[in-house]
Amino acid sequence: MCVMRFFIITFFFFISLQNFGQSFKMSSLIDDYNRNGEIEGVVFDGENESEPLIFAEVFVKETNMAVVTEIDGSFKLSLKPGKYSLLFSFIGYKSIEIKNIEVSSSSTIKLNQVLNALKIETSISEINTILKAK
């Protein structure tokens, strides 16, 4: 009788451990580490900072990946954890490079950027002089 009681108690003990015990999986930690982080933001015109730049390029040097900004100037990058350098460029505007942006898994970095238009360095009189010389 005592042996039977022992087996029944042991049986229910192991069943309860299986059903209610917590399980720890190492793969869940690895999956969390391997999740991508995000960089998102808006690229603005330096002359009028409330105006977004449509189709500006955001280039990630380490991956050779580039995205262009949407109609509202926004962009979004999904990157593996690590350090990256971003190059912001647009035709007729001075390019800007931002270095050492650290992306961590499952996080989002907000990064807005302002690009300034290139300035013409010549004057009208210099252009007239060049045209007369031809």
CB atoms within 10 A of CB 36: 14
Contact 38, 81 (CB under 8 A): no
Q: Is the pLDDT of residue 115 over 80?
A: yes
- Order across the sheet with 57-60: list the strands: 65-68, 57-60, 82-89, 96-103
Could you tell me if residue 25 is inside a domain?
A: no
pLDDT higher than threshold 70 for residue 65: yes
The answer to whether residue 19 sits within a structural domain is: no
6 assigned to some structural domain: no
Structural domain harbouring 52:
33-115
Indicate whether 63 belongs to any domain. yes
Given the structure tokens 């999986």, which residue do they identify? 25
**Could you tell me the CATH number of the domain that includes residue 99?**
2.60.40.1120
Say what the pLDDT of residue 122 is: 65
Q: Is residue 55 part of a domain?
A: yes
Domain presence at residue 47: yes
d(CA 22, CA 30): 18
Rg of the chain over CA atoms, in angstroms? 30
Q: Is residue 17 part of a domain?
A: no
Residue 20 lies in a domain: no
pLDDT, one tens digit per residue, over 2-49 is 666 766 777 666 666 565 555 555 555 555 556 899 999 999 999 887
Pair type for strands 37-45 and 108-110: parallel
pTM: 0.66
Residue 96's alpha-carbon distances to 58, 59, 65, 70, in angstroms, are 10, 11, 16, 19
- Alpha carbon of 50 to those of 12, 70, 112, 116: distances in Å? 68, 15, 12, 13
User: What is the number of structural domains in the chain?
Assistant: 1
Q: Which two tokens stand for residue 44?
A: 């603005």
